[in-house]
Amino acid sequence: MEDVQRHSVHTLVFRSLKRSHDMFVSNQAVLPEVDENLERIKKSIKARDSYGLVFDRVKKANAIRQKQQMELSPAVETPSPQVEEPQTAVVSFDSQKSLVPVPSNPPHSSNTSSNLQLIPKKAPTIPKPKWHAPWKLYRVISGHLGWVRCAAVEPGNEWLATGAADRVIKIWDLASGKLKLSLTGHVSTVRGLAVSPTHPYLFSCGEDRQVKCWDLEYNKVIRHYHGHLSAVYSLALHPTIDVLITAGRDSTARVWDMRTKANIHTLTGHTNTIASVVSQASNPQIITGSHDSTVRLWDLAAGKSVCTLTNHKKSVRSVVLHPTLYMFASASPDNIKQWTCPEGKFVQNISGHNSIVNCMAVNPDGVLVSGGDNGTLFFWDWRTGYNFQRFQAPVQPGSMDSEAGIFSMTFDQSGTRLITTEADKTIKVYKQDDEASEETHPINWRPEIIKRRKF
């Protein structure tokens, strides 16, 4: 065996370069000859492809103009310029892959092109964002002894309910912020709340796998919904029929008959925790967001998944429906994405909130708010995705900086007050600054060239 001589990488690279140079040096400075006839044929094909529909219209327009000029001044002949079509032969390919010459003026071209109406294309325009007043902290409500995980405003807009890690549901007066009532019954963190718009019922779910129905006239539990195998993280009420939807860590969403407590459907398909569920009257009636990075749209009647949206790269922790538009948004650490119903067509990305987005809320005025795990609040214009305000939520004095997470948020029924529940054990209420105007807070909008809105 002969020893292989070892060379340095530097030597090997330049030896390779020299070999390549020696191999291709004979081809340098030798350009292929251009066939003028083929170039002319290529240009005529391009001209007919791009302007074939216009040639006939230009001829007609010139003929009409010439006729009008002759009627105005019959004595003076003013020849008008004619736009001629290229008369060279056009080469096309037939099914046998052979070159077949095609006459540049087919016999039926004048009839077909005259029937075609040319509709001018509108130039793509980027919509300008609507001006929204900035939001400011209006009230801080404290009273819970643990992380406040969820909130719900009652339909009359008089009080709100909050659930926390201290296992207590508290009812607060929305106008004054004073505590009205405390409901105890859960044995672990309360993770979801919903107030029925048609019955005096409050629904709650928690990490103790329990789903409870509270009668607000007697302030006690009247129904339990048994079936979840693990913690229940989110619940939603159908707006028109007496149906309750719950979802959680067992990767399923369950549909319950509110009165009989029967488990109508068990919606399976997600492969990880379902963090958010929303319901609407029209299709798709149920939308779920999961830690498996997907959003699923469900048909309530069939109890089956209609569509699975896989655009997100990380866990989806929040899904929110727009109150007036037939759209919804989903939030993940990579992006907030907007979709149209019913088929879940992607509209646009809303980028910039670079943290774990725990919650979102949107009001009828088109203000979308996202809350992060690090206490950041981002306010967006729904239509354009313009971020018109961002700030760090102030923490309660005495709490640690790490306890700055925002766990849930909701607008009140008027859409003028934003309620957030946070890790510093407080409920914060924000409202718009009445003194702000477009002059004091102008829109500083620079649309990105890369961003393309899809409809």
How does pLDDT run across 414-433, given as a tens digit for each residue? 999 999 999 999 999 999 99
Taking a C-beta distance cutoff of 8 angstroms, is the pair 61, 80 a contact?
A: no
Q: Which residues, 6 or more positions from 77, have their beta carbon under 8 angstroms from its beta carbon?
A: 70
What are the structural domain ranges in the chain?
A: 38-72+85-115, 135-432
Quick check: helix, strand or coil at residue 93?
Answer: strand
How many CA atoms within 13 Å lie on the side-chain side of 355?
19
Q: Give me the pLDDT at residue 1, please.
A: 55
Highest-confidence segment of 85-99, 190-204, 386-400: 190-204
Q: Give me the pLDDT at residue 121, please.
A: 61
Q: Give me the pLDDT at residue 104, please.
A: 46
More confident residue, 98 or 49: 49
Assign domain 135-432 to its CATH architecture.
Answer: 7 Propeller (2.130)
Alpha-carbon separation of residue 286 from 160, 254, 307, 321, 349 (angstroms): 24, 11, 11, 11, 22
Alpha-carbon separation of residue 275 from 139, 256, 350, 367 (angstroms): 28, 18, 20, 23
Cα 192 from Cα 318, distance rounded (Å): 13
Q: For the whole model, what pTM was predicted?
A: 0.72
Q: Give me the pLDDT at residue 92, please.
A: 44
Q: Which residue has the tokens 């992060």?
A: 372
The mean of the pLDDT values for the chain is: 86
Which pLDDT band holds residue 119 (cuts at 50, 70, 90)? low
Residue type, 397: P
Q: What is the DSSP string of 135-152?
A: EEEEEEEE--SS-EEEEE
Instruction: Tell me what the mean pLDDT of segment 338-361 comes to.
Output: 94
Q: Is the pLDDT of residue 285 over 80?
A: yes
- Please tell me the least confidently modeled range out of 83-87, 203-207, 365-369: 83-87
Which pLDDT band holds residue 48 (cuts at 50, 70, 90)? confident
Cα 403 from Cα 424, distance rounded (Å): 5
Cα 297 from Cα 283, distance rounded (Å): 9
Digit-coded pLDDT (tens) for 10-22: 787 778 888 887 7
Taking a C-beta distance cutoff of 8 angstroms, is the pair 228, 219 a contact?
A: no
Sign of CA dihedral 43, 45, 46, 47: positive
Q: Give me the pLDDT at residue 402, please.
A: 75
Which pLDDT band holds residue 277 (cuts at 50, 70, 90)? very high
What percent of the chain shows pLDDT beyond 90?
65
Q: Which residues, 6 or more positions from 107, have their beta carbon under 8 angstroms from its beta carbon?
A: none
Cα 362 from Cα 221, distance rounded (Å): 31
Instruction: Tell me what the mean pLDDT of segment 140-152 comes to.
Output: 96
Which pLDDT band holds residue 298 (cuts at 50, 70, 90)? very high
Q: Which residue has the tokens 């859409």?
A: 415
Highest-confidence segment of 33-37, 125-129, 181-185, 401-405: 181-185
Query: Which tokens sit at 70?
Result: 């002759």
Query: Which tokens sit at 241?
Result: 């029929």
